[in-house]
Amino acid sequence: MSLNLSGVFPPIPTSFDADGKLLLDKMKSNIEKWNTTPIHGYVVLGSNGEYVMLNEAEKCEVWETARAAIPREKLFFAGAGAESTQATRALVQHAARIGADAVMIVTPHYYKPQMNSAALVNHFRVIADASTLPVLIYNIPAYAGIDMDAATIIQLAEHPNIVGVKDSSGNVNKFAEVIRAVRPDFAVLAGSGGYFYPALCVGAVGVVAALANVAPRACVEIFEAFHAGNHARAKELQLEFIALNAAVTSRWSVPGLKAALDLLDDYYGGPPRLPLRALGDEERKALRKIMQDAGVL
């Protein structure tokens, strides 16, 4: 039985207090609220989950909290990538033990000049061979500083346990190139809410978007309008949420996402861990205005 990777998957933030301590209750409470929305699942410990800020024990705690709160009918992707292949394997085992549905594995990227196509293919194959969970490739050039090209993705798509790619390059041309070449059930997921609808148009099946945390219903509406053939509505929503999407991604990143949650009723955002810094008052004011314009406040 294969997973259905179609849909809208918020990469949820990890909740910290002012001292940077994990607030698992807040995460639980956030998830319970997102559960009332029609989103199709969660990514736990992606970039928006500040996975690079947590140690292994904290990662397990976060995943356990998420597992307890996420109902079985929603997909649970565990962000389990690390710089070394063996650390990634260990995290993937933890994720399996905890009961995640799939793992999302970021491209290793510290030794950039060495991370050529052959090195990346080898890394992902080793992981996919060893993993009992399906593997989703995670490509995020803005943070990783490397961009997995279409040929490498297409090569990796031959592995039966590599089920898709979450690509935050924004390169819709590349999405199309991949989709044209891979097996039909290999899933391309847009990596941001800024190009969700056009990505669907060329064959992407879903989105992992910070925006889906703050506007889950709008994201799902884009998805459903598209599938209903209502392109006019999908386009309209896509354009309406461009500014808010930018606010919680390129403009203010994780701190922007957390501030947006704080501005919403009933969600906890809180501070990011340093060196990320919480938004200042002026930025919060500008963000509030953007949220009002988008109709989420």
- Active-site amino acid positions: 166
Comparing C-alpha atoms, which of 217, 208, 189 is closest to residue 249?
A: 208
- Residue 281 class from Cβ within 10 Å (0-12 exposed, 13-18 middle, 19+ buried)? exposed
Using CB under 8 A, pick the residue from 17, 97, 112, 158 that binds a copy of itself: 112
Inter-residue contact 211 to 244 (CB < 8 Å)? yes
Q: At 181, which helix (H) or strand (E)? A: helix 172-181
Binding to a copy of itself by residue 201, rule CB under 8 A? Answer: yes
Stretch that binds a copy of itself, among 35-43, 50-58, 71-79, 207-215 (CB under 8 A): 50-58
Of the pair 96, 246, the CB lying nearest a copy of itself is at: 246
Euclidean distance between CA atoms 44 and 213, whole angstroms: 12
Query: Distance between CA atoms of 175 and 263, rounded to whole angstroms?
Result: 34
> CA angle at residue 293 from 37 to 287, to 5 degrees?
85
Report the site for a copy of itself in 151-190 (rule: CB under 8 A).
Answer: 170-173, 176-177, 179-180
The answer to whether 235 and 195 are in contact (CB under 8 A) is no
| Closer to a copy of itself by Cβ: residue 10 or 194 | 194
Q: Contact 287/260 with Cβ under 8 angstroms?
A: yes
The DSSP output letter for 182 is S
Residue 20 in contact with a copy of itself, rule: CB under 8 A: yes
Our CB check for a copy of itself shows the closer of 179 and 220 to be 179
Integer Cα distance of 183 and 280 in angstroms:
47
Q: Which of 29, 35, 37, 85 binds a copy of itself (CB under 8 A)?
A: 85
Binding of a copy of itself by 77 (CB under 8 A): no
CB of 4 to a copy of itself, least distance (A): 21
Binding mask 243-262 for a copy of itself (x = CB under 8 A): x-xx---x--xxx-------
State the residues that interact with a copy of itself by CB under 8 A: 20, 47, 50, 52-56, 83-87, 108-115, 118-120, 122-123, 126, 142-143, 145, 170-173, 176-177, 179-180, 192, 194-195, 197-199, 201-203, 229, 231, 234-235, 238-240, 242-243, 245-246, 250, 253-255, 273-277
